[in-house]
């Protein structure tokens, strides 16, 4: 116990005395959250809109007028066909397309139900969501005024994003950033620090001491568990207070999932360090086998559903995929264990397998 | 004829004087040992002599050029071999020679003839296409010295050249140095191993920024009534 | 029983044989030197004896414990100073020492007497980070850390490499002091002139022992006539001597050329030979063999 504590203290000294480590530990999460967060712009005026008005009746004209007079949208064209609209999108002249169905007015008053279609240019996803949100809000006001209450008449707004159907938004990126940062700290930093001891030759001294391998590993990872967890908290707080990303579900369940994922990442880190004899090798190993796939294939940046079959399979073995699913479930949907047992089970199984692999690969002797 | 003439060569860092007005001369074809304890100012002095650091004072010429104003010219006339050999381990012997020949702007023809000469000199003809990393330490050492002389420099600076090799390999290396010196090349050796110092024609020993002793190993041993250069060094430094 | 027994130990890395059926014994309390160049197998042997590496064949014991079976016990009772500086450069002198004391389950205070003569020299810098120490001080700190748990056997792998002559000398004096504490010391060095600092030495080359005895006996075993020769043109003299019929071997040896001749060659004939080659200022003296002469003769 004494030597375990001494080990943990030593690790903290290493961390606190290395500016590079400190920057990665505390600068990265804040920078990532802010960069992703402020890429979401909420203010706009006169967004170019094209309307295909197939109804051409009183009500449809009123709706178009309502959209334009809000000041948010500017009517730039009224194409006749969907193909023309598509051309406008491609030319970048239009950011939002509104499709009004034939018999809009009669359907609205008679059958009390009709559907408008909004199309937005998803290549700039944050902008696109904002446009859609404003658009549907205007439609909501419009219908309320005409019908005296939402119960009686309904205009459904069918929204479609072109080019990037699943969006990165504040809601999406906070879980993603948590997943990446935890991976960075738990897996990459752990593998780096073990590789560093090998490189410096101090690993030989530790092995030649009475320290058990378990103490060495636990001593190495404890500080990083603590740091990972405080970083996760920091990101969640930033998300909550700066970008209004809620935590609808249980906070403790969320903490539990973070811990489980940290364990997975740590065992990955230890596994990498058992194979890598230099810091450079550890760095390359964790960048290419962990960070890149987790960024690109976990659903953080690109939606899994739109990936080719092969990449979907790869995505299925990436721990971050399941962790992001868990985080979104708890934070955004407020789900409990009864809905999340599957990703939890997958993550737990991965952890057990990886931990035993790294345990058996940890050498009590050197080469 | 002197190829290095240092007169009051000085280097200061703020209030700290690392090299304190040292004066010495090195003759053409001489094997000159430049010794000193850790932190005596040895490294700083050499960095100035090879043009990597500007002197704070004094007037010094190396290979006929002024150290303060013509350091780029000096670089063309000197070779440098560090402890780590500065050879690319993943390139072949031939590729290393070609590369350094190119660095010094030699013509293709000269590079070709130099390659043949070097391979012959270090007896590596059969291994010309082997990666340098696969060669034994002693061969790397000799190749490294040959490569440092690829542009036929007036002076070759050797930074602790023979640490860790067996006595026979070490002698092969020194014989190569003597042969180069006999051909008129000046060899400037820095080391803190005193047994290596015995191999030099003349030795200077730096202590606290100054040259505390200068002479042939025999003279110094006599002057300090010591049996070895190691003893001379200990007397001076303590 | 604090000695080391090595019996028929071999170890290869791929096709390279690093240790070739090595057998020797280090007596309890002895200061034993392993002399040899890089690649002679010194570090490999250290790693086997410190239980970091398993030999391919043969057996070895340290302080009576088998290096394979009893590795956990051995690890508690040995001190090891690896070839490179292997402490934490970002920890201070005192933090390094405390850390190594704690992981060996002891306190600096409990064993301070043993390291006091060494530690006192670096104590003024106890708050300084180890990475900022000079080579000699780093080496002293490393020795303190290796000694802090009162090991029975101390393994020092090239402790004097990269350290200046003064610190090297001080280091050997410190090892002499440790003799009084009864600690067995196995120390390796590539520097032949350090042989005299050991009680017994083994000359190691490509995994084999060339000679093993007290330094005096190793040198005395050299029984051929040896001369120190020099003249104005040193290099030419070397080349000329190699052509002489009386020459067994001519090697550069600092200021002098060490000339080994066939028995029965006298000083006059060497002088005459040099004169006939046109050399001036010829000096020929009988020389006493050094460890390096022995090494060269045995290689």
Please say if the pLDDT value at position B37 is more than 60. yes
Name the pairing type of β-strands B57-62 and B2-13: antiparallel
Please say if the pLDDT value at position A125 is more than 70. no
Please say if the pLDDT value at position B137 is more than 70. yes
Please say if the pLDDT value at position A288 is more than 80. yes
pLDDT band at A166 (very low <50, low <70, confident <90, very high): very low
- Judge whether A22 is closer than 8 Å to chain C, CB to CB: no
**Tens digit of pLDDT for each residue in A197-223?**
988 888 888 888 888 888 888 898 999
Interchain pair A210, C91: CB under 8 A? no
**In sequence order, which residues have a C-beta less than 8 Å from that of residue C104 and are 6 or more positions away?**
A209, A210, C76, C148, C149
Q: What is the rounded CA–CA span in Å between residue A255 and residue A251?
A: 6
Q: Which of C52, C98, C105 sits opposite A208 (nearest CB)?
A: C52
ipTM of the complex: 0.85
CATH code for position B114: 3.40.50.300
Q: What's the average model confidence in pLDDT over B122-133?
A: 90
Which domain, by its residues, includes A121?
47-162
Q: Is residue A366 part of a domain?
A: no
Which domain, by its residues, includes B202?
2-237
Q: What is the rounded CA–CA span in Å between residue C194 and residue A70?
A: 91
- Judge whether A20 is closer than 8 Å to chain C, CB to CB: no
Q: What pLDDT does residue A41 have?
A: 46
Report which listed range, A37-41, A119-123, C12-16, is most confident: C12-16
Residue at which a domain ends, from A128, A162, A196: A162
pLDDT band at B24 (very low <50, low <70, confident <90, very high): very high
Please say if the pLDDT value at position C5 is more than 50. yes
| DSSP secondary structure of A307-336 | S-HHHHHHHHT-HHHHHHHHHHHHHHS---
Please say if the pLDDT value at position B99 is more than 60. yes
Share of chain A above pLDDT 70, in %: 88
- A 10 A CB-CB count for A320 gives 29
Do A195 and A88 fall into the same domain? no
Q: Are A315 and A235 in contact (CB under 8 A)?
A: no
- Using a CB-CB cut-off of 8 Å, the residues of chain A touching C52 are 204, 207-208, 365-366
Interface of B with C (CB under 8 A): 37-39, 136-137, 163-169, 171, 174-175, 178-179, 181-182, 192-195, 198-199, 216-218, 228-230, 233-234, 237-238
Q: What pLDDT does residue A168 have?
A: 46
Q: What's the average model confidence in pLDDT over B207-217?
A: 93
Count of domains forming chain A? 2
Cα–Cα nearest to C218, from C78, C32, C82, C53: C32
**In sequence order, which residues have a C-beta less than 8 Å from that of residue B162 and are 6 or more positions away?**
B141, B170, B173, B174, B196
More confident residue, B186 or A69: B186
Q: Compute the count of residue pairs across chains B and C with CB atoms less than 8 Å apart.
A: 86
Residue to test with chain B: of C135, C189, C252, most B Cβ within 10 A: C252
Interchain pair C255, B218: CB under 8 A? yes
Do A151 and A190 fall into the same domain? no
Chain C: residue nearest A198 by CA?
A: C86
Q: Is residue A233 part of a domain?
A: yes
CA dihedral A298, A304, A306, A310 (to 10 degrees): 80
**Tens digit of pLDDT for each residue in C230-283?**
999 999 999 999 999 999 999 999 889 999 999 889 999 999 999 999 999 999
Q: What is the rounded CA–CA span in Å between residue A97 and residue A128?
A: 11
Residue to test with chain A: of C14, C16, C96, C103, most A Cβ within 10 A: C103
Q: Are A324 and A173 in contact (CB under 8 A)?
A: no
**In sequence order, which residues have a C-beta less than 8 Å from that of residue B24 and are 6 or more positions away?**
B4, B6, B204, B211, B214
pLDDT band at A43 (very low <50, low <70, confident <90, very high): low
Chain A: residue nearest C94 by CA?
A: A10
Chain C: residue nearest B183 by CA?
A: C235
Give the minimum alpha-carbon distance from A231 to chain C in angstroms, rounded to a whole number.
Answer: 24
Q: What's the average model confidence in pLDDT over C152-158?
A: 94
Q: Is residue A202 part of a domain?
A: yes
**Tens digit of pLDDT for each residue in C194-233?**
888 999 999 999 999 999 999 999 999 998 999 999 999 9
Q: Are A242 and C136 in contact (CB under 8 A)?
A: no
Give the minimum alpha-carbon distance from A180 to chain C in angstroms, rounded to a whole number.
Answer: 28
Do A195 and A337 fall into the same domain? yes
Do A79 and A179 fall into the same domain? no
Q: What pLDDT does residue A47 have?
A: 83
Interchain pair C190, B163: CB under 8 A? yes
Q: Which of C53, C102, C105 sits opposite A365 (nearest CB)?
A: C53
Q: What's the average model confidence in pLDDT over B125-139?
A: 89
- Using a CB-CB cut-off of 8 Å, the residues of chain B touching C231 are none
**In sequence order, which residues have a C-beta less than 8 Å from that of residue A64 and are 6 or more positions away?**
A51, A53, A75, A98, A100
Q: What pLDDT does residue A262 have?
A: 93
Chain A: residue nearest C72 by CA?
A: A210
Do A122 and A244 fall into the same domain? no
Do A56 and A192 fall into the same domain? no
Tokens of A140: 């909501």
Tokens of B210: 């100054």
Q: Is residue A367 part of a domain?
A: no
Backbone angles phi, psi at A103, to 5 degrees: 60, 35
Task: Kindly report the average pLDDT of chain C as a whole number.
Answer: 92
CATH code for position A100: 3.40.1710.10
Please say if the pLDDT value at position A163 is more than 50. no
Tokens of B214: 């200068």
Do A98 and A81 fall into the same domain? yes
Interchain pair C102, A366: CB under 8 A? no
Measuring CA to CA, how many Å separate C3 from each of A303, B219, C62, C88, C179? Answer: 66, 45, 6, 30, 13
Give the minimum alpha-carbon distance from C274 to chain B in angstroms, rounded to a whole number.
Answer: 18
Do A212 and A331 fall into the same domain? yes
Do A173 and A154 fall into the same domain? no
**Tens digit of pLDDT for each residue in A221-261?**
999 999 999 988 888 888 888 877 788 889 999 999 999 99
**Tens digit of pLDDT for each residue in C113-130?**
999 989 999 999 999 999
pLDDT band at A167 (very low <50, low <70, confident <90, very high): very low
- Judge whether A363 is closer than 8 Å to chain C, CB to CB: no
Do A28 and A73 fall into the same domain? no
Interchain pair A206, C52: CB under 8 A? no
Backbone angles phi, psi at A343, to 5 degrees: -60, -35
Q: What's the average model confidence in pLDDT over B185-195?
A: 87
Do A265 and A357 fall into the same domain? yes
**Tens digit of pLDDT for each residue in C177-192?**
888 888 999 999 988 8
Chain C neighbours (≥3 Cβ pairs under 8 A) are A, B
Q: What pLDDT does residue A111 have?
A: 63
Please say if the pLDDT value at position A271 is more than 70. yes
Domains and CATH numbers, chain C: 4-220 (3.40.50.300), 226-290 (3.30.70.100)
Chain A neighbours (≥3 Cβ pairs under 8 A) are C
- Judge whether C135 is closer than 8 Å to chain B, CB to CB: yes
In Å, the largest CA–CA distance within chain B is: 55
Return the H-helix or E-strand segment holding B168: helix B167-182
Residue at which a domain ends, from A134, A162, A190: A162
Name the pairing type of β-strands C65-66 and C153-157: unpaired
Tokens of B207: 């202590």
pTM of the predicted model as reported, rounded to 2 decimal places:
0.80
Residue at which a domain ends, from A162, A188, A212: A162
Helices (H) and strands (E) in chain A, counts: 17, 5
């Amino acid at each position: 116990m004494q030597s375990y504590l001494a080990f943990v203290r030593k690790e903290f000294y290493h961390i606190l005395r290395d500016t590079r480590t400190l920057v990665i530990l505390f600068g990265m999460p804040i920078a990532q959250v802010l960069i992703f967060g402020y890429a979401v712009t909420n203010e706009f005026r006169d967004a170019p809109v094209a309307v295909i008005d197939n109804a051409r009746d009183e009500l449809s004209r009123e709706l178009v007028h309502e959209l334009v007079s809000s000041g948010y949208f500017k009517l730039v064209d009224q194409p006749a066909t969907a193909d023309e609209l598509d051309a406008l999108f491609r030319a970048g002249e239009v950011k939002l397309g509104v499709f009004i169905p034939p018999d809009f007015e009669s359907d609205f008053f008679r059958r009390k139900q009709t559907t408008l279609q909004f199309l937005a240019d998803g290549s700039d996803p944050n902008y696109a969501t904002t446009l859609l949100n404003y658009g549907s809000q205007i439609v909501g006001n419009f219908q309320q005024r005409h019908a005296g209450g939402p119960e009686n008449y309904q205009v459904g707004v069918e929204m479609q994003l072109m080019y990037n159907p699943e969006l990165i938004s504040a809601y999406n990126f906070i879980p993603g950033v948590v997943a990446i940062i935890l991976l960075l700290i738990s897996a990459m930093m752990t593998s780096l620090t073990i590789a560093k001891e090998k490189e410096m030759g101090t690993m030989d001294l530790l092995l030649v001491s009475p320290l058990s391998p378990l103490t060495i590993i636990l001593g190495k990872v404890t500080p990083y568990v603590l740091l990972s967890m405080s970083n996760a908290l920091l990101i969640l707080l930033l998300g909550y207070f700066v970008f209004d990303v809620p935590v609808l579900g249980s906070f403790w369940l969320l903490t539990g999932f973070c811990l489980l994922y940290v364990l997975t990442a740590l065992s990955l880190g230890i596994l990498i360090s058992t194979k890598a004899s230099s810091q450079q090798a550890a760095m390359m190993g964790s960048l290419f086998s962990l960070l890149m796939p987790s960024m690109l294939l976990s659903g953080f940046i690109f939606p899994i559903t739109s990936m080719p079959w092969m990449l979907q399979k790869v995505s299925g073995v990436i721990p971050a995929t399941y962790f992001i699913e868990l985080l979104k479930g708890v934070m955004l949907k407020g789900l409990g264990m009864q809905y999340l047992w599957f990703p939890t089970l997958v993550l737990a199984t991965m952890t057990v397998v990886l931990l035993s692999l790294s345990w058996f690969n940890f050498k009590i002797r050197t080469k | 004829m002197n190829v290095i003439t240092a007169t009051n060569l000085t280097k200061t860092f703020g209030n700290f004087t690392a090299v304190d007005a040292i004066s010495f001369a090195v003759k053409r074809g001489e094997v000159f040992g430049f010794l000193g304890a850790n932190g005596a100012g040895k490294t700083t002095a050499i960095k100035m002599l090879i043009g990597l650091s500007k002197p704070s004072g004094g007037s010094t010429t190396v290979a006929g050029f002024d150290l303060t104003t013509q350091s780029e010219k000096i670089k063309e006339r000197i070779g440098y071999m560090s402890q780590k050999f500065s050879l690319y381990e993943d390139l072949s012997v031939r590729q290393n020679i070609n590369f350094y020949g190119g660095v010094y702007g030699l013509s293709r023809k000269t590079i070709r003839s130099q390659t043949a000469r070097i391979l012959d000199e270090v007896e590596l003809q059969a291994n010309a296409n082997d990666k340098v990393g696969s060669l034994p330490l002693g061969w790397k050492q000799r190749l490294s010295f040959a490569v440092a002389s690829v542009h036929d420099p007036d002076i070759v600076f050797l930074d602790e050249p023979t640490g860790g090799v067996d006595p026979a390999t070490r002698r092969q290396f020194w014989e190569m140095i003597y042969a180069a010196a006999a051909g008129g090349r000046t060899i400037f050796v820095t080391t803190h191993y005193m047994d290596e110092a015995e191999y030099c024609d003349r030795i200077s020993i730096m202590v606290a920024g100054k040259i505390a002793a200068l002479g042939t190993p025999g003279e110094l041993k006599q002057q300090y009534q010591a049996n070895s250069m190691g003893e001379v060094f200990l007397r001076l430094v303590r | 029983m604090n000695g080391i027994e090595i019996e028929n130990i071999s170890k290869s890395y791929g096709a390279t044989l690093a240790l070739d059926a090595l057998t020797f014994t280090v007596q309890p309390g002895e200061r034993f030197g392993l002399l040899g160049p890089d690649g002679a197998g010194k570090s490999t042997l250290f790693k086997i004896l410190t239980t970091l590496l398993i030999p391919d064949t043969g057996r070895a014991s340290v302080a009576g414990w088998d290096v394979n079976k009893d590795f956990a016990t051995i690890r508690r009772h040995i001190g090891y100073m690896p070839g490179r500086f292997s402490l934490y450069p970002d920890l201070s002198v005192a933090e390094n020492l405390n850390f190594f004391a704690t992981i060996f389950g002891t306190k600096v205070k409990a064993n301070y007497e043993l390291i006091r003569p060494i530690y006192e020299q670096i104590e003024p810098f106890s708050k300084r980070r180890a990475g900022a120490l000079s080579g000699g001080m780093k080496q002293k700190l490393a020795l303190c850390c290796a000694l802090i748990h009162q090991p029975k056997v101390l393994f020092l792998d090239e402790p004097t490499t990269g350290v200046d002559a003064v610190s090297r000398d001080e280091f050997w004096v410190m090892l002499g002091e440790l003799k009084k504490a009864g600690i067995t010391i196995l120390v390796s060095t590539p520097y032949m002139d350090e042989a005299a600092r050991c009680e017994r030495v083994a000359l190691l080359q490509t995994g084999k022992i060339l000679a093993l005895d007290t330094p005096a006996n190793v040198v005395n075993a050299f029984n051929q006539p040896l001369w120190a020769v020099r003249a104005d043109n040193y290099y030419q003299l070397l080349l000329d001597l190699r052509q002489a019929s009386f020459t067994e071997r001519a090697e550069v040896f600092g200021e002098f050329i060490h000339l080994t001749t066939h028995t029965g060659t006298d000083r006059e004939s060497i002088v005459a030979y040099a004169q006939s080659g046109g050399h001036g200022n010829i000096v020929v003296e009988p020389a006493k063999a050094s460890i390096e002469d022995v090494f060269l003769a045995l290689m």
